[in-house]
Amino acid sequence: MGIINKKGKLFGVINIIDFAVILVIVVLLGGAFVKFKVLDKTSTNVELVPITYTVEINGVRDYFLENVKEGDKLFDQTSSNCIGTIIKLESKEATEEMEFPNGEISYVPSEGKIDIVLTVNGEGVVNDSGYFINKTYELLRNSKRNFFTKYAMCEGKILDIYEQ
């Protein structure tokens, strides 16, 4: 006897299409069980803690400052997820690298441009691997990232991280 007989039945017991339907339903039920009963249990065990970090934005035109305010939410441009709220805004005249005729190179003031430091409050997890806002957005000192608020967008660098 073959696997499928002349009537189209698998091992002479069940129709191949009926078997496929049963298989799909079993897989869907299994997937739903894993998603809602197994995965959920592990993910809710992690406790979120407040994390404060600073972001440095260098050499932007001075109009930028008028478009960012304390209280604005900060978002990650890659995921569009909220990664905290701006609680403090500091600015100073920007500096840029200049080469002088004698060969000396130094940072000098740049008219019309500013450096901004944003202090941001977020929630996340802290573990042996590092700091993760909303469990997924990893904070790394000195890493360049693209950020945006409801009113402005920019590139910045994470300066410092403080666990409260």
Partner 1 sequence: MEKKKFKINIFDIIIVVLVLAVAGGLYAYTHRDTVIETKKLEYVVEINDCAEGFSENIKIGAKITDGLKNYNMGTVTEVSAEPYTVSVANTDEGRFVESEVGGRERVLLTISANVTETDSNYAVDGYYVVKAGKEVFVRGEGFAGEGYIVSVKR
Stretch that binds partner 1, among 38-46, 83-91, 104-112, 125-133 (CB under 8 A): 104-112
Work out how close the CB of 13 gets to partner 1 at its nearest, in angstroms, rounded to a whole number.
13
Q: Which helix (H) or strand (E) holds 133?
A: strand 130-133
The answer to the question of residue 148 lying near partner 1 (CB under 8 A) is yes
| CA distance linking residue 35 with residue 122, whole number of Å | 27
Backbone phi, psi, residue 152, to 5°: -150, 160
**Which range binds partner 1 by CB under 8 A, 30-38, 46-54, 96-104, 129-137?**
96-104
Binding-site member from 4, 23, 34, 108 for partner 1 (CB under 8 A): 108
Q: Using the rule CB under 8 A, is 152 a contact of partner 1? A: yes
CB distance 57 to 146 below 8 Å: no
By C-alpha distance, which of 111, 114, 122 is closest to 154? Answer: 114
Question: Distance between CA atoms of 98 and 106, rounded to whole angstroms?
Answer: 6
- Taking the CB of residue 12, how many other CB atoms lie within 10 A of it? 12
User: Smallest gap, in angstroms, from Cβ of residue 46 to partner 1?
Assistant: 24
In the list 6, 45, 71, 111, the residue contacting partner 1 (rule: CB under 8 A) is 111
Residues near partner 1 (CB under 8 A): 15, 17-18, 21-22, 25, 60-61, 63-64, 66-67, 69, 73, 75, 80, 82, 96, 98-101, 106, 108-113, 148-154
